[in-house]
A and B are shown apart, each in its own frame.
Chain A
Amino acid sequence: SNLWYLFSHSVDKAWKELSNILSGIFCASLNFIDSTNTVTPTASFKPLGLANGTDHNLLRYAVLPREVVCTENLTPWKKLLPCGSKAGLAVLLKAERLFHSSYHSQAVHIRPICRDASCLAVSWELRQTLTVVFDTFSSGQGKKDWSLFKMFSRTLTDACPLASQSKVYVDISPKNKEKELLEVTPPPASVHEAIVQGDRRTYAVYDLLSPSLFNTSRSLNVQLKWKRPQDSSELPTPVLHAQRYVSGYGLQTGEISTLIYNTHPYRAFPVILLETVPWYLRLYVHTLTIITKGKENKPSYIHYQPAQDRRRPHLLEMLIQLPANSVTKITIQFERALLKWTEYPPDPNHGFYVSSSVLSALVPSVIAMKDMDVEQSPLFTSLFPSLDGSSYFVRLYTEPLLVNLPTPDFSMPYNVICLTCTVVAVCYGSFYNLLTRTFHVEEPSRGGLAKRLANVIRKFRGVPPL
């Protein structure tokens, strides 16, 4: 989970209060956010909505890579909706189907916006997003057909009466200019065309507020059927995508590598990379190398804040120019630190998580986009924002990394106690004996069992007896 906020004053105390209050409201463990996982980025995050020229020192960004989303986070998220889960689109959001998916992500965004066109008053806009990836191909007997009922085990019955817009968009873009490849039922009332991330896409629109939608049946179950069996054509790769991994051997050193792909055929564009590495992986910045197409690529802006043990993580922000149709590899070496024995979590051999790095870029689009009005299509302008018609803003998160740290033998304190106590006891015991025992001459005895046994062995050896 990650949390970022732009404050107006007195940041640190307010940051702690904010993370604790949000942790209580959303039942998420955001209260583990403290100075060891909070950074102050300079360029990657700009405030959305209205903002006066703000000092980047007032911005805080924190990531908790170990926390996962679960049902108890969904319930308070649904409570924020005006109709709750009683009416409208949120009726579909039942936990037992939503978490039966390959990917699940929830977000809450708050920003100040103008209340009306004259912008005399400012309101707060609350935007809640839920992203779920259902893999019907692998779970649905190899068919790529889907329907709302199959995915959510319920259908839409009415719109939320408090909503001013309530729409369902289904992507029916034809591939390779072949129509009639797929069929959507019930037939949509209208079709919306938009240019999304440089691609021309067609959407079938179902408007829940229009009275004609529920005329024929009381519920809306959108179904999509493929007419011909799909040959395994590849999905188009996005213009900007990235990968991140840890390499190296042993438990002392390692290397973090980030690969950034620019698949645009002829345009180069810059990208801001934000990396947050915990303090126990000590980065060596002199080993930072950025290689594109075999040549070294110098970033035009680097901001590096080294870590302080147990207080602050590493922060590395770079502005890198990506040439067209290239792969950029960024590597940096690190050394693993040995933690104090009370700082290890209960399962230390699971590993320690390194949070994902954030790539922010204005990607140029292959097709020119027209400016969309916020009022007409609020969904598209907020999901796929674009400042001008030629590029769109993308924020990518890479995978989080799992790194093993050298763990001590946790039974060592007991071993140490035993060892020192034994040494002390033996040494002290003999010292004590020397001081307090009394010595006197002893008559030699006739010998006991030990002497007889020794004589038997001597006879075998051929040595004279004792």
Chain B
Amino acid sequence: MAAAAAMVGDEAERARGRRAALSFAAIAVVLGLPLWWRTTETYRAALPYAGIEGLGRLPFQLAVPVAVVFAPRSVPGDLPRPLPFTDVQEMDIAVNLRTSVTARYETAYRSTTAQEEAALDVATAQEADAGLHLLQDALLGALTVYVVPETSPLLPQGISVYVGKHRSALVRAGGGLATLRTRLQQLTQVMSFTSSSIAAALSDRLPDGQLGPDARRHLKSSLGYEITFSLLNPDPKSHTVDWDIEDAVNRYVQPVLDKLSLLANFSVDSQILYYAVLGVTPRFDKESSSFLLSAHSLPHVINPVEARLGSSAASLYPVLNFLLYVPERSHSPLYIQDKDGAPIYNVEAPASPQASLPLHVDVDMVRVMEVFLAQLRLLFGLSREELPPEFLLESPGNEGLADWELDRLLWTHTVENIATVSTTLTSLAQLLDKIGNIVIKDDVASEVYRAVATAQSAVDELAMGHLHSAFQASKEAVTSSERAFFDPSLLHLLYFPDDQKFAIYIPLFLPMAVPILLSLAKIVREARQQRKEPTKMD
């Protein structure tokens, strides 16, 4: 009897023990584990992953508002509808498999007002252009095309399209609507953007090899540029070189930079470097009795000089260096085969050995500045591409840059900015997704939100044709995305090793978990045994 009572007592004890073990395990899992998880996670603010992905997929739509104004007696006969009317033409520029850019030309056809007629009633196209500019309220990106009658004296012989300094052009009528449409298309290619320029702007999304050789030369869009003019004098004992760079910059370069000030901030400085030798020895050519440098050795020439050009540590913006090299007396005169690159200035004075050294050299700034300005335009991608033979482009004169050239730059830079924002944010999102360790603070998250919002507004403005606001929005988007990407707080816990986490938590959790697990194992074993016993016992 006592044994049976002891057995029952034992059973109750064992049941109580089992209940205690199970409740321990339950509390540990239900309360302990979530509490520990919440108190040891890194702070990661939420990011708009959907917005970033959407930005990557967004098809660009570039809308160009064009106004076609018919002077009296120049209206073609085969217009589809009476004036005034609007027409929309879409053109697809395929960049790659996923992205495509659609160009919409919203053409508004109308006839001239009385003031415009008076402005067109002058002798030359330049005066007409100047007069029309006063009447227009041209927004950035918009074009106005004036169709003048075939017999008009404004356009010289053989020229059927005249592109002015501002955002207007004169087209000779004749040939019906079809020729007008072709001329319009060619005109918009010249004055706004071509498919190759847009493709070049989106070049980082293109697979390699699809770009032409010129496309890589253009500068990447940046918030500012620093321009440095350097005079290299390798032999100060023989030449004392004087250049009036301040005056030349104010007269020739500053107007161009003022025109481009909408695009970026510019700062200009100049320096004179002495004992800056070329890396390559030019060879003497007997026929022309001068020294020659071949064009493909030019990159090696720049190398030893580049270390001394300096100032990349002191500037946030990319630096454009323009070098003027005065060759040594022993290497004068010096020419470059296949003229390309830094100009070499030759000492004009005949060097007689009795002349007292050092020779004084006054640099002819006009010649030098011509070359520098041409190179500056080339760097920005403003070169005059192939034009059809009947086009006449007005030279921009003192301003250095025509308004429509600025528009071209703005189109490509806006598109490039949006593409940059999208790639930056996508790679940031991928990085943060993959590495769970990185802390995302609130201000990083707010910068990302701002970048996504401004980029989306830039795309919307582009689709509506407001180039100015689209450009400003794209600049803000680039700034925000760069600020988010390069924030130093992202690196805070990046290199925290995993084994340190184990070293901290295992001594605490293992002694707690082992008894619980052993009790659970014992309970499971007993339960299994009990299930087997009823089948055995009967």
Using a CB–CB distance below 8 Å, which chain A residues touch chain B? 21, 24-25, 79, 82-84, 86-87, 161-162, 414, 417-418, 420-422, 424-426, 428-429, 432-433, 435-441
Instruction: Answer whether A421 and B507 are a contact pair too, CB < 8 Å, given A24-B313, A438-B10.
Output: yes
Chain B residues with Cβ below 8 Å from A87 are 275
- Say if the beta carbon of B371 comes within 8 Å of chain A: no
Most buried by B among A25, A420, A421, A440: A421
* Cα(A83)–Cα(B16), bound, Å: 94
Contact with A along B295-337 (1 / 0, CB 8 A): 0000000000000101001100000000000000000000000
* Cα(A161)–Cα(B313), bound, Å: 29
Q: Which of B7-28 contact A (CB under 8 A)?
A: 9-10, 13-14, 16-18, 20-21, 24
Q: Is the CB of B511 within 8 A of A79?
A: no
- Say if the beta carbon of B220 comes within 8 Å of chain A: no
Main secondary structure of the interface of B (DSSP, over half): helix
B512 to A: closest C-beta gap in Å = 6
* Cα(A86)–Cα(B234), bound, Å: 11
Could you give 15 example pairs across A and B, Cβ below 8 Å?
A25-B310, A25-B314, A414-B503, A417-B503, A417-B507, A417-B508, A421-B507, A424-B512, A425-B508, A428-B511, A435-B20, A436-B515, A438-B13, A438-B14, A440-B10
Q: Is the CB of A436 within 8 A of B24?
A: yes
* Cα(A439)–Cα(B10), bound, Å: 8
Q: Of B24, B314, B358, B507, which is within 8 A of A418 by CB?
A: B507
Q: Is the CB of A79 within 8 A of B308?
A: yes
* Cα(A454)–Cα(B519), bound, Å: 34
A421: nearest residue on chain B (CB-CB)?
Answer: B507
Q: Is the CB of B274 within 8 A of A162?
A: yes
Q: Which of B485-509 contact A (CB under 8 A)?
A: 503-504, 507-508
Q: Which of B263-314 contact A (CB under 8 A)?
A: 274-275, 308, 310, 313-314
Chain A residues with Cβ below 8 Å from B16 are 438
Chain B residues with Cβ below 8 Å from A414 are 503
Q: Is the CB of A161 within 8 A of B358?
A: yes
Using a CB–CB distance below 8 Å, which chain B residues touch chain A? 6, 9-10, 13-14, 16-18, 20-21, 24, 236-237, 274-275, 308, 310, 313-314, 358, 503-504, 507-508, 510-512, 515-516, 519
Q: Of B310, B358, B512, which is within 8 A of A425 by CB?
A: B512
Q: Is the CB of A25 within 8 A of B236?
A: no
B133 to A: closest C-beta gap in Å = 41
Chain B residues with Cβ below 8 Å from A428 are 511-512
A106 to B: closest C-beta gap in Å = 18
A433 to B: closest C-beta gap in Å = 7
* Cα(A86)–Cα(B507), bound, Å: 66
B284 to A: closest C-beta gap in Å = 25
* Cα(A194)–Cα(B11), bound, Å: 112
Chain A residues with Cβ below 8 Å from B17 are 435-438
Q: Is the CB of B236 within 8 A of A162?
A: yes
Instruction: Answer whether A21 and B313 are a contact pair too, CB < 8 Å, given A161-B236, A436-B17, A436-B519.
Output: yes
Q: Is the CB of B511 within 8 A of A421?
A: yes
B247 to A: closest C-beta gap in Å = 16
* Cα(A100)–Cα(B317), bound, Å: 40
Instruction: Answer whether A79 and B512 are a contact pair too, CB < 8 Å, given A84-B274, A417-B507, A436-B519.
Output: no
B11: nearest residue on chain A (CB-CB)?
Answer: A438
* Cα(A425)–Cα(B503), bound, Å: 15
A81: nearest residue on chain B (CB-CB)?
Answer: B274
A425: nearest residue on chain B (CB-CB)?
Answer: B511
Chain B residues with Cβ below 8 Å from A436 are 17-18, 20-21, 24, 515, 519
Q: Of B13, B358, B508, B515, which is within 8 A of A433 by CB?
A: B515
Q: Of B13, B237, B308, which is within 8 A of A439 by CB?
A: B13
Chain B residues with Cβ below 8 Å from A82 are 274
Chain B residues with Cβ below 8 Å from A418 are 507
Starting from the known contacts A21-B314, A25-B314, 18 additional A-B residue pairs (CB-CB under 8 Å) come to A83-B275, A87-B275, A414-B503, A417-B508, A421-B507, A421-B511, A422-B507, A425-B507, A425-B511, A429-B515, A433-B515, A436-B18, A436-B20, A436-B21, A436-B515, A438-B10, A438-B14, A439-B13
Q: Is the CB of A440 within 8 A of B237?
A: no
* Cα(A162)–Cα(B275), bound, Å: 11
Chain A residues with Cβ below 8 Å from B310 are 25, 79
B16: nearest residue on chain A (CB-CB)?
Answer: A438
Chain A residues with Cβ below 8 Å from B515 are 429, 432-433, 436
A69 to B: closest C-beta gap in Å = 19
Q: Is the CB of B275 within 8 A of A424?
A: no
Chain A residues with Cβ below 8 Å from B9 are 440
A156 to B: closest C-beta gap in Å = 16
6 nearest CB pairs, A to B: A425-B511, A24-B313, A421-B507, A438-B13, A86-B275, A161-B236
Chain B residues with Cβ below 8 Å from A162 are 236, 274
* Cα(A25)–Cα(B311), bound, Å: 8
B461 to A: closest C-beta gap in Å = 33
B275: nearest residue on chain A (CB-CB)?
Answer: A86
* Cα(A441)–Cα(B20), bound, Å: 21
Chain A residues with Cβ below 8 Å from B512 are 424-425, 428
* Cα(A385)–Cα(B17), bound, Å: 93
A19 to B: closest C-beta gap in Å = 12
B313: nearest residue on chain A (CB-CB)?
Answer: A24
* Cα(A418)–Cα(B310), bound, Å: 55
Instruction: Answer whether A424 and B511 are a contact pair too, CB < 8 Å, given A79-B310, A84-B275.
Output: yes
A158: nearest residue on chain B (CB-CB)?
Answer: B237
* Cα(A101)–Cα(B515), bound, Å: 70
Q: Is the CB of A24 within 8 A of B14?
A: no
* Cα(A162)–Cα(B274), bound, Å: 9
Q: Is the CB of B237 within 8 A of A161?
A: yes
A86: nearest residue on chain B (CB-CB)?
Answer: B275
* Cα(A425)–Cα(B20), bound, Å: 18
* Cα(A421)–Cα(B508), bound, Å: 5
Chain A residues with Cβ below 8 Å from B308 are 79
* Cα(A87)–Cα(B234), bound, Å: 12
Q: Of B13, B314, B508, which is within 8 A of A440 by CB?
A: B13
Chain A residues with Cβ below 8 Å from B10 are 438, 440
A339 to B: closest C-beta gap in Å = 20
Most buried by B among A82, A161, A418, A424: A161
B506: nearest residue on chain A (CB-CB)?
Answer: A421
Q: Of A24, A25, A79, A424, which is within 8 A of B508 by CB?
A: A424
A255 to B: closest C-beta gap in Å = 40
* Cα(A414)–Cα(B499), bound, Å: 13
* Cα(A418)–Cα(B506), bound, Å: 10
A413: nearest residue on chain B (CB-CB)?
Answer: B504
A419: nearest residue on chain B (CB-CB)?
Answer: B507
A434: nearest residue on chain B (CB-CB)?
Answer: B20
* Cα(A416)–Cα(B275), bound, Å: 64
B310 to A: closest C-beta gap in Å = 7
* Cα(A153)–Cα(B220), bound, Å: 49
Q: Is the CB of A25 within 8 A of B313?
A: yes
A414: nearest residue on chain B (CB-CB)?
Answer: B503
A28 to B: closest C-beta gap in Å = 12
* Cα(A161)–Cα(B310), bound, Å: 23
* Cα(A426)–Cα(B508), bound, Å: 11
B21: nearest residue on chain A (CB-CB)?
Answer: A436
Chain B residues with Cβ below 8 Å from A437 are 17
Q: Is the CB of B24 within 8 A of A432?
A: yes
* Cα(A164)–Cα(B281), bound, Å: 31
Chain A residues with Cβ below 8 Å from B237 are 161
* Cα(A124)–Cα(B106), bound, Å: 57
A285 to B: closest C-beta gap in Å = 38
Chain A residues with Cβ below 8 Å from B236 are 83, 161-162
Chain A residues with Cβ below 8 Å from B21 are 436
B237 to A: closest C-beta gap in Å = 5
* Cα(A335)–Cα(B20), bound, Å: 56
Chain B residues with Cβ below 8 Å from A161 are 236-237, 358
* Cα(A440)–Cα(B310), bound, Å: 88
B18: nearest residue on chain A (CB-CB)?
Answer: A436
Chain B residues with Cβ below 8 Å from A438 are 10, 13-14, 16-17
Chain B residues with Cβ below 8 Å from A83 are 236, 274-275
